[in-house]
Amino acid sequence: MKPLKSEAINYLQGTVQVPGDKSISHRALMIGGLSIGETLIEGLLEGEDVLKTLEALRSLGVVIEKKAAGNWLVRGRGVCGLAEPEQVLDMGNSGTAARLLIGVLAAHPFSVTLSGDKSLNSRPMGRIINPLREMGAIFQARSGGRLPLNMTGLADPLPIEYELPVASAQVKSAILLAGLGAAGKTRVIEPKPTRDHTELMLRHFGAEVEVENLSGGARAITIQGQPELSARDIVVPGDISSAAFPMAAALLIPGSKVTIKGVGINPLRAGLIETFKNMGGAITLENFSNEAGEPVADLLVEGSILHGVTVAPDHAPSMIDEYPILAVCAACAEGTTRLEGLSELRVKESDRLNGMARGLEACGVNIEEGEDFLIIHGDGSVPQGGVKIKTALDHRIAMAFLILGAITKKPVVIDDAVPIETSFPGFVQLMNGLGSRIEEM
């Protein structure tokens, strides 16, 4: 346990660069490992979650070497070329690593067991298991499809057409990665567009990926199986989910002016920027560029008076990881904010919907919690604070309440900061460098 305390400050000022995008880092390692040749990855997130993916790939025979801080060389083994591991693959706390790697392994003819920490082993994997079973993979899992999980893939999985019951980039990606090994076309239909990092990166490495817009906002993604992927260098942009925290703090604290360099602004991922602007947030995008199909820009953020908004369910896929920090901003805004379509938050690292509701209530915020919504009644005043938040080992809840503590009347304490390092190494140092007062208890 590592409790941290966050106290009110005057303003934030400065220029920072957040760690590399976690979602892109996972995919760069996996797809690089399935390619022929050497892939140089610059800006890889070196948090625990991504390092678990790295170590798992090494156990599967991929040679990965560190060249410098954030720079790693991956010598790929080709599609379906991974080797049977000698031990259980430990995925730590990373649901992304586990779910995507299960998809990769479905196209390999050997048995493997995956496990994780207490949190990961409590999360359901059935949405991944069901379509991969249709492709021919065999699974033995605990009740509810939970880890530890043993699976046996096959050299020629069946190409399928699968309609996702719920929009999920992780499920979509697992099927597409399994489809790499199928003799034919694998097609995934998602009810609403989700982040497309997998599709963009597969194209970057030479895969044939088609995207078709369907009626009602649905989308179909088709991948041609058994391609020869060729190694390609990748520069990982800054993680929008990490940038969300200094961005929110700068918006909330009058007089603040913060620049966040080189952030990925993929439109299927950057819904929080649009939402903050709709709330009245002063955010300017500058210095646009493109990295392996991913749009990148600098974010200039200034202190603003925020107003309550309604965020409809169809916005959820583009900002699902950012709802904890959005809820904090809504608690300090003028007027009521209604966040809808949040059922996915209940199966993250923790029940994030309940965790945020209970934490905000403890800080004196008037909220209403439903099965898939959260209503936050803000009046523009500063929340009371003066509480210790139970984070349930959830890094995003931990960081969100540390940001809230920068403006509350009394300090906010989180019970354990250890999980923060899994996704945002250096978070405390970065925030304190801008002017925050976060310290160990």
107-161 tens-digit pLDDT = 999 999 999 999 899 988 999 999 999 999 999 999 989 999 999 999 999 999 9
Q: For residue 167, what pLDDT band results from cuts at 50, 70 and 90?
A: confident
Q: Catalytic residue at 415?
A: no
Mean pLDDT of 41-51: 95
Whether residue 146 is found in the same domain as residue 177: yes
Whether residue 250 is found in the same domain as residue 334: yes
Q: For residue 344, what pLDDT band results from cuts at 50, 70 and 90?
A: confident
Whether residue 353 is found in the same domain as residue 417: yes
DSSP three-state, residue 161: strand
Contacts of 130 (CB under 8 A, 6+ apart): none
Does 335 reside within a domain? yes
Q: Return the sign of the alpha-carbon dihedral for residues 272, 191, 212, 202.
A: positive
Nearest to 311 by CA among 352, 354, 271: 271
pLDDT value of position 346: 86
Residue 361 has pLDDT above 80, yes or no: yes
Alpha helices by DSSP H, 88-210: 95-105, 126-134, 169-179, 197-204
The rounded distance, in Å, linking the Cα atoms of 74 and 81 is 14
Percent of the chain with pLDDT over 90: 92
227-258 tens-digit pLDDT = 999 999 999 999 999 999 999 999 999 999 99
Catalytic residue among 196, 239, 321, 394: 321
In this predicted structure, which of 179-183, 218-222, 314-318, 387-391 has the lowest mean pLDDT?
Answer: 314-318
Number of domains in the chain: 2
Can you read off the two tokens belonging to residue 422? 């899994």
pLDDT value of position 144: 86
Whether residue 27 is found in the same domain as residue 176: yes
365-420 tens-digit pLDDT = 999 999 999 999 999 999 999 999 999 989 999 999 999 999 999 999 999 999 99
Whether residue 258 is found in the same domain as residue 354: yes
What CATH number is attached to the domain comprising 340? Answer: 3.65.10.10
Can you read off the two tokens belonging to residue 134? 């249709």
Taking the model in full, what pTM does it have? 0.91
Residue 441 has pLDDT above 90, yes or no: no
By residue range, what is the domain housing residue 344?
A: 4-20+237-440
Whether residue 63 is found in the same domain as residue 147: yes
Last residue of a domain, one of 189, 224, 259: 224
Whether residue 16 is found in the same domain as residue 26: no
pLDDT value of position 266: 97
Whether residue 15 is found in the same domain as residue 63: no
Does 232 reside within a domain? no
Whether residue 296 is found in the same domain as residue 220: no
Whether residue 182 is found in the same domain as residue 244: no
Residue type for 212, please? E
Summary mean pLDDT of the chain: 96
Nearest to 58 by CA among 45, 42, 68, 72: 72
Residue 423 has pLDDT above 90, yes or no: no
